[in-house]
Amino acid sequence: MKHAKHFSATALACALVAGTPFLAEPAQAQRSSQVAMRVTGFDVEQVDRLEPGAELNFTVWGTPGATVLLQIDGSRRTVRLDETSAGRYQGSYIIGRSDRIGPDSRVHANLRRDNRVTTALLGEALQVGWPVPGETALRPEIQSMDVVRERGRGRADALRYTLRGTPGGQASVLLQGSETRNIILEEIRPGEYAGTYVLPRGAWVDTERPLTAQLRLGDRSVRSSVPNAYASVNLPPRRAEASCYDCATVQAVNAVQVDGEGRVLGTVAGGVLGAVVGSQFGKGDGRTAAGVAGAVGGALLGREIQKRNSERTQYEVVVRMNDGLQRTVVYADPPSFRVGDTVRVVGDTLAAYQR
């Protein structure tokens, strides 16, 4: 699952280390010495959970015309970023089942041009709500939070949320019920955050779930949950229907190339997905008309995959549950689900949702 970009001054605080130049021709060395190698920014789009199928999107700013490689602690391979504009490099990494990437994993960027290289360390965590790896700064603190019922416009109900804690931060609460969403709270006075949410007609709140709040201060954040927070609000309790408790929405369907040990080698392009589907209609021999038609867009990658019999393509379906959590289900064959489909999670597989 993909989320909003968290960009801060801390993310731009990179530790730069000048590399040792290699041997070069005198003229080339003279030209390279005139280029000041540097990284001016290093950012990642943080994710809610570091799990197989999660996509990490990186951006590095620095000297143009260079080659940028990333090394993520716990990953099985390096990540090469493309220069999308002068001095701006972008790329992504999809976490595989054999990766050991955690919230405390560090990410180093190596920017190389000719015989010069510099290194930068990412100044933020890969997962939302986690401190910068290696930092010992204190986290913000939530002291209390509560909710009261107010009368909205007409007959609508409104909920007033109040959080007290470390001043100067950004606060929010998680609303769960007929929909799951974050309610942003404004700091009305130092250390006191408040916000009002008017329930749309027909909407309801799951009053049996704990009230969860988050307080962020810079790149630090803390979460806290209060059980029975709606006890004095006098809202009629209602939980998600049992038939939809295990319902989810398909967020992405990724075709991923893996080796014989299940290690992810890379994301397969759409053409290869077509080739696989085509070969299914062509009874799998890859030489029928259906297989050829499916391989039009991915012939080049298809030839690379066939170099080793141990390599295969698996399909990772990323879904978001009704409670907001994200899960990934792996299939050996192309699944029939598409992005936006409503499905039910049954054990380690998915089933079509029947209304």
Q: What type of residue sits at position 249?
A: T
* CB 175, CB 216: distance < 8 Å: no
Backbone angles phi, psi at 220, to 5 degrees: -105, 145
Using CA atoms, how far apart are residues 63 and 119, in angstroms rounded to an integer? 12
Burial of 52 (0-12, 13-18, 19+ CB in 10 A): buried
* CB 335, CB 255: distance < 8 Å: no
In the prediction, which pLDDT does 236 show? 58
C-alpha of 138 from chain center = 25
Model confidence pLDDT, tens digit, residues 305-322: 555 566 778 888 999 887
With a cut of 90, say whether residue 99 has pLDDT above it: yes
With a cut of 50, say whether residue 301 has pLDDT above it: yes
* CB 93, CB 72: distance < 8 Å: yes
142-239 in CATH: which number? 2.60.40
Model confidence pLDDT, tens digit, residues 175-225: 887 777 888 999 988 889 999 888 777 677 888 888 899 998 776 788 898
In the prediction, which pLDDT does 155 show? 57
Model confidence pLDDT, tens digit, residues 129-174: 877 776 544 568 899 999 998 875 555 678 899 999 988 888 999 8
Q: C-alpha distances in angstroms, 94 versus 53, 55, 186, 252, 257?
A: 6, 4, 35, 12, 11
Which pair of structure tokens corresponds to residue 278?
A: 């085509």
10-121 against 142-239: fold identical: yes
Q: Give the confidence band of 58 by pLDDT, cuts at 50, 70, 90.
A: very high
C-alpha of 12 from chain center = 20
* CB 53, CB 254: distance < 8 Å: yes
With a cut of 70, say whether residue 274 has pLDDT above it: no
Using CA atoms, how far apart are residues 119 and 105, in angstroms rounded to an integer? 16
Q: Give the confidence band of 75 by pLDDT, cuts at 50, 70, 90.
A: very high
Q: Give the confidence band of 126 by pLDDT, cuts at 50, 70, 90.
A: very high
In the prediction, which pLDDT does 257 show? 82
The DSSP call for residue 169 is -
The topology (CATH level 3) of 10-121 is: Immunoglobulin-like (2.60.40)
Q: What is the mean pLDDT of residues 4-13?
A: 44
Residues with Cβ within 8 Å of residue 168, at least 6 apart in sequence: 187, 190, 217
Q: What is the mean pLDDT of residues 68-91?
A: 94
Q: Which of 43, 82, 83 is nearest to 59 (CA)?
A: 43
Domain boundaries, the chain: 10-121, 142-239, 244-352
